[in-house]
Chains A and B, each alone.
Chain A
Amino acid sequence: MSKRNRLTKYANAAPSVQRRLCRQICPPPDNRFQSVALLLLGALLGALAMLFLAPKSGKATRRRLKEQAGNLAGKLKTKRPAATQKSGLSRISNWGNYPQTEVKVYEFEDIATLRKIVTGTNNIIARGNGRCYGDSALAANVISSLKYNKFLSFDAQQGIIRCQAGVLLSELLDVVVPQGWFLPVTPGTKKITVGGAIASDVHGKSQHKAGNFSDHVVAFDLMLGDGSVVTCSKEENPELYWTTCGGMGLTGVVLHATLRLLPVETAYFKQESIKAKNLQELMDLFEESESWPYSVAWIDCMTRGKNMGRGILMRGRHARVSDLEKPAQRQNPLRLKSKMGLNVPFFMPGFVLNPLSMKIFNTLYFHRQRARQVTSVVDYNAFFYPLDIISNWNRIYGKRGFTQYQFILPKESSRQGMQEILQKIVDRGMVSFLAVLKLYGKQHGYLPFAMEGYSLALDFPIVDGLFEFLDELDQIVLAYGGRLYLTKDVRMGRDMFMQSYPNAEKFINHLKQINQNFKFRSYQSDRIGITQ
């Protein structure tokens, strides 16, 4: 059988056949590198398939390939400096590599320097590690907190840590885990700053139980537009506290924070992965798993019919020493060996992620787990941050970048709403490489993303027509009483924001008092009508 035939056969085969084929290509997983390997394999197969399956356009494709390879080589040779020296502007973008902007970036290492910047500049926004996907941390003037990154105190008895806002969660874990502590709330990457975690009021797999980041912040200091520094907590200046948590940097610059940690026996998690044939079954599993402290599901959003929304639910809890199987782990339950990471050193050509390669990846991923249910003990990096092992993985989406469309629907309407949205995605042939489903609980604050309901996060490469398509999805989300996650958003319009966030008006009125003349503003806050 020719390669072309084999690949076509594979991609179009019935699930049971795919399962068999898949196992021949790749045996079930035993370490986290396998998902990486799968990803690369899927991309490669897809790219090859594109070449072979389109014999007529083969020449053109090959020419394009050659061009892109040429571009690439050229780029590697002439590394453009990050800052255009003359204008003093830097070219930056956040995680989605879209939009690309030229802005002025300020840095500070002490409060006096920051105060000078804040009082002397308009149109400013704080920026942490740029892990939001869109334009939340972008404005004409960006204040980077990355050099303001010192630990101030750590009480290893009580589990209270105080640090400057530029400290990364990864650095924080390096410090606290060996002493038997963990973050009660952590998102799917540890490469974010404490300031960014507060401003987006991030959440993670524990949201339904532990709430959001703000629920575990004891206090923080905030620099306002006039350069004054105010301490905020749930007791002291609570209004300012709740406007800042989830306030997307619009109240000022978070300087320091004191966080309450969670005691743990080990750096490991006991995890169960359960396969579900379709969306409804997956949601049943979520509802059965509500007592588990951590849960999330990956779904294959490229399958139609009765298998639509098939996926794998992962639920877990902190492992006790007695859960650990390997003697080395038991001996040192709080210390992880450092593992080698991978890197995507440059932007992949746009064609690598195509519908076929994604379909192959999704199918391989679904079938690599043979049994319906698998129990394992994994370290916290594998449990929370599987994507972090590949630095710059966002580059696989190519230079045009990508966006994440993350929405939430109320629990009552979720089953129907999710079904409708998935159907629409499949019907349109829109392709999401990564889709993550989770059941949420309530969230405090003025602009909470979470509510009791289901959220789905979809990664889309930026292609012509995408934003129009997402506008259509917005209408469905709105009709079901849902909303979009601001820290992932890059395109929603003013109406969508104002209609879907019930306290938007209140937030804006309140913000007017705190942030006079909207000195702090981002491209996002202008776009969605908060500051314009």
Chain B
Amino acid sequence: MSHVLILGAASDMAQALAYKFAAEGFDITLAARNSGRLADVAPDLEIRHGISAGVAEFDALGFAGHADFYTNLPHPPDVVICVFGYLGTQETAQSNFAEAKKIIDTNYTGAVSILNIVANDFEQRGSGTIIGISSVAGDRGRQSNYLYGSAKAAFTAYLSGLRNRLAKKNVHVLTVKPGFVRTKMTAGMPLPGPVTAKPSRVAADVFAAFQKQRNVVYTMRIWQLIMLLIRHIPEPIFKRLNL
């Protein structure tokens, strides 16, 4: 039975992914900070889907512990989904470096730290899939969230390079760029309904992309078009916009 490791398993999106992969017959390890709060999720996954599921303590910012975390996992994973992220507050981060650093470290440094380890393991085993949940925010920096956006841009570039390196080793890397998603992270934000996905929709899209071995997917699909347009607005105009 294939085993999925979900990094940052407490978020709504991560949970949706866990349920989706479990429904497709994968065993699941939920890794998160304060993993005790996920204690209910593992038996629920097991009972609903007849798979085995477990919980592991993982802190994206505890770089020093990442190697131990990975070697101590009860099951070597076949699929690793890197979901953790931190939106932060753009305004605070502009003047408070601690906030800026937290955004960068959670979305980028932490991901690099753990995925380097995973990548080396998969490369050696000659198999595996790494799924990175990046963001459309990384496609172009905008004044409203360029700290988060730049960290995600770095993560997107990292995943692209990783894919390039591991393609020869039978290891697949999938970059996922969600647009707006209705989750706890975005609760209270006025999101435009037609282009806002439910976490379950994202999970279904990710699973389909995983099965088809796609390289980069936007979810919902319309975001590919939206971002295409946004990327092509000439800079002299773009810089004047309130985005």
Contacts and interface: CB of A to CB of B under 8 A. Distances in A.
B68 interface: no
A174 interface: yes
B204 interface: no
Contacts of B44: 150-152
B232 interface: no
A150 B43 CA distance: 8
A471 interface: no
A171 B48 CA distance: 8
Interface of A: 79, 110, 150-154, 161, 164, 171, 174-175
B48 A153 contact: no
A313 to B, nearest CB: 37
Contacts of A79: 193
Given A171-B48, A175-B48, A153 B193 contact: no
B48 A151 contact: yes
A161 B40 CA distance: 15
B41 interface: yes
Contacts of B47: 151, 153-154, 161, 175
A174 B41 CA distance: 17
A335 B37 CA distance: 33
A151 B43 contact: yes
B48 to A, nearest CB: 6
Interface string B38-73: 001101100110000000000000000000000000
Nearest to B188: A85
22 contacts: A79-B193, A110-B37, A150-B40, A150-B41, A150-B43, A150-B44, A151-B43, A151-B44, A151-B47, A151-B48, A152-B40, A152-B43, A152-B44, A153-B43, A153-B47, A154-B47, A161-B47, A164-B40, A171-B48, A174-B48, A175-B47, A175-B48
Q: How large is the interface on B (under 10, 10 to 19, 20 to 34, 35 or more residues)?
A: under 10
Interface of B: 37, 40-41, 43-44, 47-48, 193
A153 B43 CA distance: 7
Interface secondary structure of B, over-half rule: helix
Nearest to A154: B47
Contacts of B37: 110
A152 B43 CA distance: 6
Q: Pick from B37, B41, B47 the residue with the most CB of A within 10 Å.
A: B47
A164 B41 CA distance: 12
A171 B43 CA distance: 15
A76 to B, nearest CB: 13
User: 8 closest Cβ contacts across the A-B interface?
Assistant: A151-B47, A150-B44, A150-B40, A154-B47, A151-B44, A175-B47, A175-B48, A151-B48
A154 B50 CA distance: 11
A105 B113 CA distance: 42
B40 to A, nearest CB: 5
Contacts of B40: 150, 152, 164
B120 to A, nearest CB: 36
A79 B41 CA distance: 34
A150 B48 CA distance: 9
A166 to B, nearest CB: 12
A78 B11 CA distance: 31
Nearest to A167: B44
B180 to A, nearest CB: 15
Contacts of B43: 150-153
Contacts of A174: 48
A476 to B, nearest CB: 48
A110 B37 CA distance: 9
A448 to B, nearest CB: 32
A152 B42 CA distance: 9
Contacts of B48: 151, 171, 174-175
A161 B44 CA distance: 12
B43 to A, nearest CB: 6
A151 B46 CA distance: 9
A83 to B, nearest CB: 11
A158 to B, nearest CB: 14
Contacts of A164: 40
Given A151-B47, A171-B48, 10 more contacts: A79-B193, A110-B37, A150-B40, A150-B41, A150-B43, A150-B44, A164-B40, A174-B48, A175-B47, A175-B48
